[in-house]
Amino acid sequence: MDDWLTTEQAVVRLGVKRETLYAYVSRGLLHRALDADGRRSRFDPAEIDRLRRRQRPEGEFATLVSTRIARPSDEGVWVRGRDLVAEAALSTFEDAADRVWQAGPGETWPPVTDTDEIHDDVLARVPQQAPLMDRLRIGVALASAADPLRDDLTPASVRTAGRRAVCAMVRSLPRRCRPQGDRIADALWCRLSRRQASQRRRSALNRALVLLAEHGMASSTLGARVAASVRADPYSVITAGLGVLGGRLHGAASAPVHLLLAEAALSGDPARALGDAQRTLSFTPGFGHVTLKRRDARFGALMEALTGAWPTDERLGTVLEVHNLAADRTEGVATVDFALGAMTFLADMTPEAGEAIFAIARTVGWVAHALEEYGEEPLRFRFRARYVGD
């Protein structure tokens, strides 16, 4: 098998994510073999090429969207010409969002603690075990229903809708403790954790929100832009982004990291927990990125906040040990998803909390792209189908 492809080579040749590659394996579309050491997967290049020709002919779905919003790279993420990593260490989520949206003077955020009788009554009927993503979608729908001016697509009105949607999403989650501040991060903490937290820990959540606010033309962002292209209102744009984010391969990558760390702490054997996770998932949770090949600057920025917020917590040692073990044996870079999973683990949140944080944060990016797309010619995303049936 010397000429067979490694996982990294296979994903590049197919032009897909690592998770998609292993989804092909699980569906029987691809077969994989193991190296002699039994640790690394290998793929038949001929089989890869056959799948590429059948599933994604050369150039199919390839498109280029010009944007002035973000430029993510191995060196960092620049949003509106500013270093997002530096921004995350100094700015509140609200202020960062306003800069991404290019808000005008006098525009303000509504109190995230505001209550609405209809909003509360509807959410009270949602089953307790309902996924957090379902609650977020309901929150956006309620915000839309309560906004008679949602079809006003002027920039100031779109930004107002974005702020209302973010606050509604936070309020859609069940309250678990009493908030200790009036910022988005303060309110969100007590919707996701039963334990009140120090300012440093709430600041770590704020940093995660800023770091996740925008990262270029991800799948959910493209979905949001398609919705904006047909002149959907801002709430519908956000709902389109949430729909794509609901897929298991985008936005939920922090959950298996959380579960891995919880198992490592419970068993006291991080190496075995990591090995079991790799065997079950066929990839290393929190490692490997479809576009970032050398480093994810967001990972280091969020991990710095975690070490400052939980310096004496013995579970931080588990996080660092699992990371070091994985980094020594994994070719892919550690991503922000590893740090996000570590944060939800340290904060005593549920594994799905990371996906909710990701969704609320990325709403900022979706609204920014909607603002940009509203200025383009409408209906420009008209894909053509190539019929290959009987």
| Domain range summary for the chain, segments of one domain joined by + | 5-55, 85-251+352-373, 254-346
According to DSSP H, which parts of the chain are helical?
7-14, 18-26, 45-55, 84-90, 93-101, 117-124, 132-145, 155-171, 184-192, 199-211, 219-229, 234-245, 254-267, 270-281, 297-309, 314-329, 336-346, 353-373
Mean pLDDT on 298-317 = 97
Location of structure tokens 């509203």: 374
Residues near 229 by beta carbon (within 8 Å), at least 6 away in sequence: 373, 376, 378, 379, 380, 381
pLDDT of 29 higher than 90: no
Cα(68)–Cα(317) distance, integer angstroms: 41
Cα(151)–Cα(222) distance, integer angstroms: 21
3-class DSSP state for residue 108? Answer: coil
Cα(158)–Cα(89) distance, integer angstroms: 27
Dump pLDDT digits (tens) for 336-387. 999 999 999 999 999 999 999 999 999 999 999 999 999 999 998 887 777 8
* Domain boundaries 254-346, corresponding CATH code: 1.10.230.10
* Domain boundaries 85-251+352-373, corresponding CATH code: 1.10.580.10
Grade residue 271 by pLDDT with cuts at 50, 70 and 90: very high
pTM: 0.84
Cα(103)–Cα(98) distance, integer angstroms: 5
pLDDT of 247 higher than 90: no
Residue 165: per-residue pLDDT: 97
CA dihedral defined by 235, 241, 243, 246, rounded to 10 degrees? -130
| Choice among 3-7, 88-92, 292-296 with the minimum mean pLDDT | 3-7
CB 335 within 8 A of CB 296: yes
| Choice among 103-117, 125-139, 167-181, 285-299 with the minimum mean pLDDT | 103-117
CB 132 within 8 A of CB 353: yes
CB 93 within 8 A of CB 183: yes
Residue 120: per-residue pLDDT: 81
Grade residue 331 by pLDDT with cuts at 50, 70 and 90: confident
Residue 234: per-residue pLDDT: 98
End-to-end CA distance of the chain: 37
Grade residue 60 by pLDDT with cuts at 50, 70 and 90: low
pLDDT of 192 higher than 60: yes
Residue 2: DSSP 8-state:
T
Residue 26: per-residue pLDDT: 77
Query: On the CB side of 125, how many CA atoms lie within 13 Å of its CA?
Result: 7
pLDDT of 30 higher than 60: yes
CB 313 within 8 A of CB 320: no
Grade residue 77 by pLDDT with cuts at 50, 70 and 90: very high
Residue 308: per-residue pLDDT: 97
Mean pLDDT on 154-169 = 97
Mean pLDDT on 101-123 = 86
Residue 55: per-residue pLDDT: 59
Cα(106)–Cα(100) distance, integer angstroms: 16
Q: 227 or 52: which carries more pLDDT confidence? A: 227
Residue 299: per-residue pLDDT: 97
The mean predicted confidence, pLDDT, of the chain is 91
Residue 61: per-residue pLDDT: 57
CB 217 within 8 A of CB 65: yes
pLDDT of 18 higher than 90: no
Cα(286)–Cα(335) distance, integer angstroms: 6
Mean pLDDT on 158-171 = 97
Q: For residue 120, with 0-12 CB atoms within 10 Å meaning exposed, 13-18 middle and 19 or more buried, which class applies? A: exposed
